Amino acid sequence: MKIIIHMLVTLTVIGVISGGLLSQISGWADPLIAEHRQQETESAIFEVQPSAKKYEKVTSVNYELYKVFDENGNDMGYALPYEGNGFQGKIRLMVGINHTLDQVVGMRVLEQVETPGLGTKIVTDPSNKENNSWFPEQFNGVQPTPEISVVKNAKPSKKSEIMAITGATISSKAVVAIINSGIQELRKLQEEVK
Amino acid sequence: MANKVTLTREFLKGLWEQNAVFKQVLGMCPVLAVTVSAENGIAMALATTFALVFSSFIVSLIKNWIPAQVRIAAYILIIATFVTIVDLVMKAQFPSLSKALGPFIPLIIVNCLILGRQEAFASKNSVLRAVLDALGMGTGFLIALFLLGSTRELFGSGTILGFQIMPDVYEPWLIMILPAGAFLTLGLMMGFFRTYSEKKKRVERDSIVDKYLRAKKVAETNPLEAN
């Protein structure tokens, strides 16, 4: 009996001290962590919408969506963080699009776990010395009408095409599929508003 | 028993003689997973060392109060506290590093290196010795992770700590930054170090045998002199 009480008391005391300490530290760390996340989102928004000056969270939808404006408050379109399946895991990206939804302004991959050296070229491609971000930059000005498509081993001939990464076709297609379904979602939203 | 060992030895043994990775083969999961670059290896080792040192300190401080039946639960609780502290501090201060190490930081809690040192050492020795041992083991872990990380980074991306080492024409060996590269590098390194220490042992043994044989020969040819 004595030993049981001893065991209970020891574990309780350690647990209480540990819990108290951790709640103190998380009280200090949580606002900082939230701030980093905020900053990250903000820098991504301005990267996919380079001419935007202000943004505003759209609260009427149940997913994350930002509406962006230039310095005079003119509607510049949207910045949409969207995610989907990549080759090995989730890819999360942010896409900037104009307000009529017929031209992509920019794209940036936020999180990915693709194969190092192959699929990671969707972010940067160190093997291309002239422009290591050629893949994401292809999306600048692409026209998703009706939707973006991928071509292999050739230069894109239409305004709606982008070129796949050699050796990472699945990752390239995944990025395009995520963007397409994100844009679908936005189209639905605009229909509803009309 | 422990008092025969000097304090410096207590620290130094972790660096090489009982190196956590190469000799004890402990904590393999972070070793294999995060060593795609030297920087990740260093960060992982520092986080582990922090948790190890503080857990060893607390465990050896309260070792007489913990009932033997619940010691493992108590150790895990203590380790988990410090690992969570590391995780929160990293997320708050070094967000990019924390992103790169991903889920492996919380997993330090079940790193057998830390639990192993609590069970094998900190729970049986004085506070000072426990902390020295933890520092030594942590430094040994750092050396191992840095070696592995920089080798893999050098061959896999041509850089060390982000600095270009290999010439531009070098085509990176992708396999080195894939999981298979971790096993290959670790296996080759262990084999190399093992060969070295075996050789050293053999040389020592040979010299003793040699000495004995020579003395015997002298005794046989000249029995009077030997007596």
- pLDDT single digits (tens) B34-78: 888 888 889 899 999 999 999 999 999 999 989 989 999 999 999
Which of A14, A21, A36 comes nearest B74 by C-beta? A14
B180 within some domain: yes
Per the CB < 8 A criterion, the answer to whether B129 and B15 are in contact is: no
pLDDT, residue A54, reads 84
Between B216 and B227, the more confident residue is B216
State how many domains chain B has: 1
Asked if residue B202 belongs to a domain, the reply is no
What would the pLDDT profile of A111-142 be if each residue is shown by its tens digit?
888 877 788 889 888 777 788 889 999 999 88
What pLDDT sits at residue B133?
Answer: 93
Instruction: Identify the pLDDT of residue A118.
Output: 81
Q: Quick: pLDDT tens for B159-202.
A: 888 888 888 788 888 888 888 899 999 999 999 988 988 998 89
Rounded to an integer, the average pLDDT of B105-119 is: 89
Range with the largest mean pLDDT of A16-20, A157-161, B1-5, B106-110: A16-20
Cα B188 to Cα A83, B22, B99, B191: the distances in Å are 40, 11, 29, 5
Which range of residues forms the domain containing residue B81?
2-191
Biggest distance spanned by C-alpha atoms of chain A: 82
Q: Chain B partners of A36 at a C-beta cutoff of 8 Å?
A: 91-92, 95
**Average pLDDT of the residues in B82-107:** 87
The predicted model gives B76-98 an average pLDDT of 91
Nearest CA in chain A to B84: A22
Inter-chain touch A15–B77, beta carbons under 8 Å: yes
Give the residue-averaged pLDDT of B123-152: 93
| pLDDT for B224 | 67
- Taking CB atoms within 8 Å and a gap of at least 24, the contacts of A41-48 are A41/A66, A41/A81, A41/A94, A44/A79, A44/A81, A44/A94, A44/A108, A44/A110, A45/A79, A45/A94, A45/A96, A47/A94, A47/A96, A47/A106, A47/A108, A48/A79, A48/A94, A48/A95, A48/A96, A48/A105, A48/A106, A48/A107, A48/A108
Per the domain annotation, does B111 fall within a domain? yes
B-chain CB neighbours of A15 within 8 Å are: 77
H-helix or E-strand containing A96? strand A90-97
Predicted pLDDT at B4: 67
Chain B partners within 8 Å of A21 (Cβ): 81, 85
Task: Give me the residue spans of the domains in chain A.
Answer: 47-193
Residue in B67, B91, B156 closest to A29 by CB: B91
Query: In the structure, what pLDDT confidence band is assigned to residue B1 with cuts at 50, 70 and 90?
Result: very low
Instruction: Give the CA count within 13 Å in the CB-facing half-sphere of B193.
Output: 16
Q: Using a CB-CB distance cutoff of 8 angstroms, which residues of chain B are in contact with residue A118?
A: 174
The verdict on residue B42 lying in a domain is yes
Task: Identify the H or E element spanning A81.
Answer: strand A75-85
ipTM of the complex: 0.76
Tell me the pLDDT of chain A (194 aa) as tens digits: 889 999 999 999 999 999 999 999 999 999 999 998 888 888 888 888 888 888 888 888 888 888 888 888 888 888 999 999 998 888 999 999 988 888 899 999 988 888 777 888 898 887 777 888 899 999 998 888 888 999 988 888 888 899 999 888 999 999 999 999 999 988 888 888 77
Residue B86: the pLDDT is: 92
Question: Which of the pair, B2 or A189, is modelled with greater confidence?
Answer: A189
In B2-70, where does DSSP find H-type helix?
A: 7-12, 28-34, 38-61
Share of chain B above pLDDT 70, in %: 96
Closest to A14 measured CA to CA, from B75, B85, B49, B53 = B75
CA-nearest residue of chain A to B158? Answer: A126
Kindly report the nearest CA distance between residue B15 and chain A, in angstroms: 31
Helix (H) or strand (E) holding A104: strand A104-111
Please compute the mean of the pLDDT values over residues B134-148 and round it to a whole number: 93
- pLDDT value, residue A155: 84
pLDDT given for residue A154 in this prediction: 82
Q: Could you tell me the pLDDT band of residue B225, with boundaries at 50, 70 and 90?
A: low
Q: Give how far Cα B29 sits from Cα of A97, A191, B33, B75, B100, Å.
A: 42, 50, 6, 20, 16
> Measuring CA to CA, how many Å separate B4 from each of A184, B7, B30?
74, 9, 34
Span B74-102, average pLDDT: 89
Q: Which of residues 129-188 of A touch B (CB under 8 A)?
A: 129
A130 CA to chain B: closest CA distance, Å? 13
pLDDT: which is higher, B3 or A8: A8
Q: Judge whether A90 is closer than 8 Å to chain B, CB to CB.
A: no
B92: distance to nearest CA of chain A, Å? 5
Domain membership flag for residue B206: no
Q: Output the pLDDT for position B35.
A: 86
Across residues B154-162, what is the average pLDDT? Answer: 85
Interface of A with B in 108-127 (CB under 8 A): 111, 115-118, 126
Which residues of A fall within a CB distance of 8 Å from B81? 18, 21-22
Q: Are residues B74 and A11, on separate chains, in Cβ contact within 8 Å?
A: yes
B174–A116 CB contact, under 8 Å: yes
Q: Is residue B151 part of a domain?
A: yes
Would B18 be classed as within a structural domain?
Answer: yes
- Residue A69: strand pairing partners: A54, A75
User: Which of A7, A15, A29 has the CB atom closest to B92's CB atom?
Assistant: A29
Residues of chain B neighbouring A9 (CB-CB closer than 8 A): none
Distance from CA of B17 to the nearest CA of A (A): 34
pLDDT of residue B2: 47
- B178:A116 CB<8 A: yes
pLDDT for res B106? 86
Give me A52's structure tokens.
Answer: 């935007």
**Is residue B98 in a domain?**
yes
Alpha helices in chain A (DSSP H): 2-48, 134-137, 169-193
Residues of A in contact with B67 (CB under 8 A): 3, 6-7, 10
